[in-house]
Every structure is written in structure tokens, then in C-alpha cells.
Structure 1
Amino acid sequence: MFQPPSPEPIRFAYWVPNVSGGLVISRIPQRTSWDAAYNRRLAQIAEEAGFDYALTQIRFTAGYGAEYQHESVAFSHALLAATTRLKVIAALLPGPWNPTLAAKQIATISQLSEGRIAINVVSGWFSGEFRAIGEPWLDHDERYRRSEEFIRALRGIWTQDDFTFRGDFYRYANYTLKPKPAEPQPEIFQGGSSRAARDMAARVSDWYFTNGNTPEGIRAQVEDVRAKAAANARRVRIGVNAFVIARDTEAEARAVLQEIIDHADPEAVKAFGHEVKNAGRASPEGEGNWAKSSFEDLVQYNDGFKTNLIGTPDQIAERIVALKEVGVDLALLAFLHFQEEVQYFGEQVIPRVRALEAVRDAAAARPAAA
């Protein structure tokens, strides 16, 4: 069932490089750093450039070029302290976190940041990470069932006094958390392309992230999630992953893409592909986020090259608006050299997107006024 695009402007988020190696599994030289000083300045640049959100990553073990990793919740708070408007989405992994700790951490940060904290609930795809830290590795659909209980428990703790909940994974009896988060309540994001992921989003999440893809490839997921959400009397917004290479000419941008792929770490890419495709095959339908990803696609963690935001500012702006036309509400972006490229994106791409949106809004309004 086709639904018209949202009249709201498309929003922009960026992946926080709080792990080493940037956002590509490549040995290409990068000016991106995982350290705190670089990321504080990056958050300020992104805020000035017109970005709405920053998404911190959660990893507990080294792998695929990410030897060093800062913890997501503490790092999110550091970025919030360095900014005034930017919202920061902290990634949480049920298992290592339980809702009690997460609810208290996020409520406190919400109070300190005047409601600028959100969360991304990651159900997990890397079994080796869970084994390394002594956490049970659940079957695919059980991981999503646990994540759904995690979200239901968080919402209950954040909105109710004497909260009581009896699930298979979490249980509460007359629990009251004070202070609760500042209003508005923290937004809840999640990802995944499996049926279980989409069903969970439709029932409990505010935002659904999907891997990079073409507008045609994204449309079916958007329509499925929105139809299921409507059946639950809910609205779920859609975010899509993309890796941006914006240059003055398309030839320059394509040359950078080829250089990233030429410098890929073959063993790390293959190992990453093995893990994520195994996780997808474990779903009942036998497919997951990376089911149809090639070697080149896997060089960027979440199929960001597939979205094709690679070219001139005009080309990229047109492709972003095409994503909005199929129902995308937010573009989650990664870059090679984050600070300077986020600034360039804000100067050269976002104004073009807003101009195209204004033209389309005017065109949509004309028949109604006639």
C-alpha cells in the first residue's frame, strides 16, 4: 500500500566514529579519528551543518578493523555536553544491558541534556562477541523477542510508577524510577531487515533503520513496516544507511569509491561477511540485512554504497529526495574524512535538498488550491 512521503523535511544523522577504523573495512588513509576530542568537534560541526542526530556505535570486542572502541552511552553524554541542539542516539545491546540499568542511565542523561538522548536497540548479529563476554547467544527470533521485551520494559519504567511486568526475559514488581526522562520521551530506534525485525518495529519502536539500498529496494520494506504499524495504530518512521562521497565532479567521487574498495582488507571483509550472512541465514526466512551483499558492498558495514549517495552535490540531493519519495524520513550517513566532509555536506548538499523539497511541496499544494 503506497503512502505519500512525509511533508516534514528529511532528517540527517551521522554515524559517530567512536570505534577505530572509520566506517569502512579498508586500509585507505583516513583523517577520521575515534578519539574524544575529534568527536566532540565533529558533533559541533554536524550541528552547525544541519544534522539532527548522531548515532554512537556499540562494540565489546575488536574486529574488522575496529581495534579500539569507546562505550556508547558514556560517549553519547560527552557529545551532548559539547552541543546544544544535536540529538545523540546511544546504541544498547540487550544482554550486556538490562532495562533497569539502561532506563536509569538514559533517564539521567535525558535530564542533563534536556531531552536530547535517544537509543538504538541492537538485537545482535555477532555470536563471537556474545561468547567472548560470556553472554548467551539466542536464536534469531528469540533475540528480537528479547529486544521487544527490553523496549516494553523501558517504556514502562519511563512512564509509570509502580511498574509491573512479567515477561520471559525481564520481570518487574511495583518498580518506580525517579526522576524519569525529560519530555519528550527518548525516541527508540532499531534496525534489521528480517520479518522479526520489521514486526518488532511495527509494535514497539519509533524508528526503523534499514541497510543501504536503492529506492526501489527500500520501498517494499517501508510499505511493510508502515502497514504493520498502522494495524497496531502506530506510526514508525524510516531511516536508511548511506555512505556519502560528495565531490565537485562525479568522476572524482567514483575514484574515491574505487580507492576505498581497492584498499579493502580482504580477510576482514570476508570474515565480516561470513558472520553477518550466518546471522541472516539463522532467521526463519533465511535472509537478513546482508543476504544479497557483494564483497564490494561489505566493505561498508551497512551496505552504504548501495544507496548511491556518490557524486556531485546536485546528484546526491536528487537521490536523497528520491529516497524521501518512497517513504524515507531520515538518512543515516557515513563519510571517509568525517569532519571536513560533514561540513561540505552541510554547505553543499543540505541546502540543495531543502530547495528540492520546497519545489515538490509547492507542486503538491497547487492542485489542492485550484
Structure 2
Amino acid sequence: MTTERIADHIKFAYWVPNVSGGLVTSDIEQRTDWGYDYNVKLAQTAENNGFEYALSQVRYEASYGAEHQHESTSFSLALLLATQKLKVIAAVHPGLWQPGVLAKFATTADHLSGGRFALNIVSGWFKDEFIHLGEPWLEHDERYRRSAEFLQVLRKIWTEDDVDFRGDFYRIHDFTLKPKPLDLPGRPHPELFQGGNSTVARRNGGLYADWYLSNGKDFDGVTEQIVDVRDHARTVGREVKFGLNGFVIARDTEKEANDVLREIIEKANKPAVEGFRAAVQQAGNSTLDKKGMWADSTFEDLVQYNDGFRTKLIGTPEQIAERIAAYRKRGVDLVLCGFLHFQEEVEYFGSKVLPLVREIEDAESGSVGAPVLASA
């Protein structure tokens, strides 16, 4: 088995800080703000510094250091209307959205933005949000079965007329959406992202999504997931792109970068991290093979709540560029970046790290063979 394909150029996305507290659950100083004005400026900075995508987070109530949050779909549309090139991905939960209604919203956003709106289908890890809103809470594999139907319904509504879908979770009868999303070259409908670590998440990603998003991983961890997801895609004649989460600490010296990491962890908001761990690890450990998200995450991993430290994008621009290039050779198509001080660090990344990545890619052009599968 191989990952089969290496991207010509790896793409970059950033987490939209539309949730208070930034991307780490720590009391360290963060020059990042969750408000609209800050995020508009950040989106414009990002698209002018080589970032092609942004991902808006979704939480519905105060929790684990995230006391305030803006809703993801409306916030994403606002950022799209304030930018020219950036693609913005809105995270959404099946069970809290009806797929036909979301398909309509997404189509409108797609037209208003010239085809730059995308969705990340989040199967749901935070039980209290569903319970407090009076919605049923499904067990892990059932949540992913629902997401599988959700992804199928979205795609059918966007590409077909007189849609009829009869699943266990959604029943659509003779439904036609007009207008359809913009039919752009290589992209007949808004891109569909889906994340996860578990066996059923990988199956969903391979069979139904355009992109699979992984929590932070080392080289072996990411390769194992890529192989699995693409094996599922191959069974139905599809191709799925792969995105990897990573928290970036790029500094002029390795010592500076490691000092920042150490300070983030030393100043962790321990009650918030422990509360988050208790909430999420029941989800990962509820899978039969214990491959679910966060199942083996340590306290230090969860200070960055998507295991972003594990990707080890921490050091000098040269060290980070080399590691990103190595992930590309293992089949990663996109790196989803988190930062401590977003505005200035996005600029630093764009001026110092990204050009080095492109230099490595250009030097390897035409000489890269099969994807690397061994440890490094």
C-alpha cells in the first residue's frame, strides 16, 4: 500500500480565531482576538501571505476556556465578503443542521463569494452541547453514520434535481435546489471536508468527502491515516485530499521557539484542559479499536486542543519548512496552521517559512518518486 500521490505544492490554511482564548488553553499572553474587526484584518493578511484556506471553528456554548464564540457559517460568509481570494471553511454539526437547509445557505454563500465557501462536517464530540440544546446524543459510530448520510445528501442536492434520499437519519423527497452552486473548473460544488481519527471517520472521508482533516500527527501517524483513507476512496473510484493540523511556533532560533512552547504548557489553564480531556476522550475511547480522536492524547497535547504540538512545526523557519516538505512527501496536501499571536505570526510565516517550502518543492520537482512511508 502507498499514499499514491504527492501534491505539486502543499497548501496552507489557518484556524480562524472566532472563539475566545485563541488556539491554546493557556494563560500565556495572546495577542489574538476573537472579534470581527481583528478577524477581517487577519483574513486579508493571510490571503496576502500565501494562505489559501481558513477554517472557522464551531462551538455553541461557553466551555473549557472558550467563553465566547461567533457562529461559524455567518462568520465565514462575513470573511469571504471582506476578501478576494481566500476560501473559508465553516465547521457544522449534523444533528444541529438539517442538510437541505444548510445546502441552501451554502449555495447562497457560494454565489456571493464567487465559489470560495466550503464546509467541514463535524460529527460531534461535545455531548453537553447536544444535551443542553435538547437534541439527541448518539453514540460514536452512529454519529458518523449520520454524517455519512449528511455528506451524501449535500452532494446530491447540489448536483441533482428531484432528489430522493431515504436513509436512517434523513429523508428527502423530490427536492430540487435552484440555483445550484457555481460550477467551477475542477469544483462542481462547495468543497466538503471531514475530520476524525477513528475507523468509521476514515471510511466516511474516503467514501464521501473531498478532504480529510487529521488532528496533529507525527510522520508514521499521518502516513497510516492517509493510506487508510485513500484505500477506502479507491474502492469507489474516488480521490481524497488530506489536511493535517499543526500548531506553528516559528522563531529566529530554535531556543526561542522551544521556550515559547514550554511557556504555553507551563501556563496551561489546568481545570479547562482537564475538563476538555474528560469531555473528548470519552468520544475517542468509545470506539472499539480505540482509534478515535484524542483517545491517546496527553495533557500537554490537549493544551492545543487538536493535538497541534504533535506535528512538531516548532523551530526556525528552515526547520519548519523542511518538516512541512517531509509531510508533503508522505501525501499531505494541506497544513492547517494554528498560531499564538495570529496577526504577526501569519505574516512571519508568509515571509519566512512559506518561501522556503516553495524552494524545496521546486528543487524536488520531477525528482520525487513514490511517497515516503518509513519513519524519519
Q: Which TM-score band (shorter chain)?
A: over 0.9
Residue 286 of structure 1, aligned match among 283, 290, 296 = 290
**Which residue does 1:130 correspond to in 2?**
130
**Which residue does 1:254 correspond to in 2?**
258
Superposition pairs for residues 139-178 of structure 1, below 5 Å? 139-178=139-178
Q: Is the 8 A contact 2:7 2:331 kept in 1?
A: no
Question: Structure 1 stretch 300-309 or stretch 160-169: which is displaced more?
Answer: 160-169
Encode CA deviations 1:159-201: one digit per residue, 9 max, x unaligned.
1111111111111111111111112310000100100000111
Q: Distance in 2 between matches of 1:116 and 1:253?
A: 34
**Which residue does 1:180 correspond to in 2?**
180
Q: Is the 8 A contact 1:14 1:334 kept in 2?
A: yes
1:331 matched to 2:356: no
**Which residue does 2:3 correspond to in 1?**
3
Runs of 4+ in 1 over 4 A off after TM superposition: none
State the AA in 2 paired with 1:355: E
State the AA in 1 paired with 2:321: A
Q: Distance in 2 between matches of 1:162 and 1:229?
A: 27
Q: Distance in 1 between matches of 2:67 and 2:331?
A: 36
**Which residue does 1:87 correspond to in 2?**
87
State the AA in 1 paired with 2:328: K
Q: TM-score, normalised by structure 1?
A: 0.97
State the AA in 2 paired with 1:228: H
**Which residue does 1:47 correspond to in 2?**
47
Name structure 1 gaps, 5 residues minimum.
366-370
**Which residue does 1:270 correspond to in 2?**
274
1:311 matched to 2:315: yes
Q: TM-score, normalised by structure 2?
A: 0.95
**Which residue does 1:368 correspond to in 2?**
none
1:75 matched to 2:75: yes
Q: CA deviation at 1:364?
A: 3.6
Q: Is the 8 A contact 2:3 2:226 kept in 1?
A: no
Q: CA deviation at 1:354?
A: 0.4
Alpha-carbon RMSD across the aligned residues, in angstroms, is 1.0
Q: Is the 8 A contact 1:80 1:116 kept in 2?
A: yes
**Which residue does 1:104 correspond to in 2?**
104
Q: Distance in 2 between matches of 1:7 and 1:71?
A: 32
Q: CA deviation at 1:4?
A: 4.6
Q: Is the 8 A contact 1:237 1:329 kept in 2?
A: yes
**Which residue does 2:372 correspond to in 1?**
none
1:193 matched to 2:212: no
Q: Is the 8 A contact 1:7 1:361 kept in 2?
A: no
Secondary structure of 1:125's aligned partner: coil
Q: Distance in 2 between matches of 1:219 and 1:286?
A: 18
**Which residue does 2:373 correspond to in 1?**
none
Q: CA deviation at 1:5?
A: 4.3
Q: CA deviation at 1:329?
A: 0.6
Encode CA deviations 1:243-291: one digit per residue, 9 max, x unaligned.
0000000000000001111110111111111111100111122331212
Q: Distance in 2 between matches of 1:279 and 1:4?
A: 31
Q: Distance in 2 between matches of 1:246 and 1:114?
A: 33
Q: Distance in 2 between matches of 1:105 and 1:228?
A: 30
Q: Distance in 1 between matches of 2:253 and 2:366?
A: 30
Q: Distance in 2 between matches of 1:147 and 1:5?
A: 26
Q: Distance in 2 between matches of 1:21 and 1:49?
A: 24
Question: Structure 1 stretch 70-79 or stretch 5-14: which is displaced more?
Answer: 5-14
Q: Distance in 2 between matches of 1:231 and 1:24?
A: 38
